[in-house]
Amino acid sequence: MAETEQTEKIKNPVQSAERIFSVMETLAQTGPVGLVELSGMLGLHKSTVHRLLLSLTCMGYVQQDEETSKYMLTFKLVELSEKILAKVDILTVVHPYITRLANDCNETVHFVQRRGTEVFYLDKVAPLKPQESAIRMASQVGLARPLYCSGVGKSILAEMSEEEVRYIWDHSEIEKKTEHTIVTLDELLKELQIVKEKGYALDNEENELGVRCIAVCVPDHRGRPMNAFSISAPVGRMTDERINELAVQILRTKEEIQLRLGQA
């Protein structure tokens, strides 16, 4: 008998936790629902479900509609997830993925974050076995570049509304950095439409002669287009055919990062 009681003491807390989370997960899927219906969905007695709902209500995770008597989740879970995601160090999460990407494609990979009308280079990963090249890229961690004339910048802009893009354009110092730099808003808007269709952006020597980049945007935990990463290489290695190959790799890496961040 003593052994049975001890076993119950061990099992009950786990069972209660499982049931509480089952209630919450079910409410998340169904929306407002009545006690009887919820009991049927969970396969639990009405009194058991009622007790669980009372507990969740006391803790602020569930509320009952006064008119319909139906139960629903509050936004407390959302608040918790916001706090958790806000603590996520994006660089710690992303670095292993872009390191692998750099070594897989044998090219340099950059990670940036938007700040106002510019992007700041937060991480730069060179492959373990870099290819020989006469080009030495001017990029470095801490460097700032305008959004409008970089692959990473255009990948971020493509996730914004046209109104936001116009605002950023109007508040940027437009400069023809190379003969390939986009210097009109109409041309930029056309380019961003192509980015939306393909899922990635290109920098065709627009910021630095001799260097071509392919880039993708990674939204932050609130879905805002704040981060991006790119593969950069000398134009001699970045043919259109190579770009198509790298597009598969960079889009796959983006998907993996988003899964890791819970964005899928």
Structure tokens at 5: 């009681």
Q: pLDDT at position 86, please?
A: 61
**How many domains does the chain divide into?**
2
95 and 224 share one domain = yes
The gap from C-alpha 73 to its chain's centroid, in whole angstroms, comes to 25
119 and 198 share one domain = yes
pLDDT of residue 134 exceeding 60, the answer is: no
135 and 157 share one domain = yes
Q: pLDDT at position 133, please?
A: 53
Q: How confident is the model at residue 9 (pLDDT cuts 50, 70, 90)?
A: very low
Q: pLDDT at position 234, please?
A: 92
Q: pLDDT at position 87, please?
A: 59
The enclosing domain of 50 has a CATH number of 1.10.10.10
19 and 117 share one domain = no
CA–CA separation, 247 and 260 (whole Å): 20
Q: pLDDT at position 138, please?
A: 56
The enclosing domain of 201 has a CATH number of 3.30.450.40
97 and 38 share one domain = no
196 and 210 share one domain = yes
Of 50, 83, 116, the position where a domain reaches its end is 83
pLDDT of residue 258 exceeding 80, the answer is: yes
137 and 151 share one domain = yes
32 and 97 share one domain = no
Of 33, 56, 83, the position where a domain reaches its end is 83
137 and 23 share one domain = no
Domain range holding 59?
A: 2-83
14 and 104 share one domain = no
CA–CA separation, 141 and 120 (whole Å): 8
78 and 147 share one domain = no
Q: In the predicted model, what is the mean pLDDT of residues 134-156?
A: 79
110 and 54 share one domain = no
Of 17, 51, 83, the position where a domain reaches its end is 83
pLDDT of residue 231 exceeding 80, the answer is: yes
pLDDT of residue 2 exceeding 50, the answer is: no
* pTM > 0.75: no
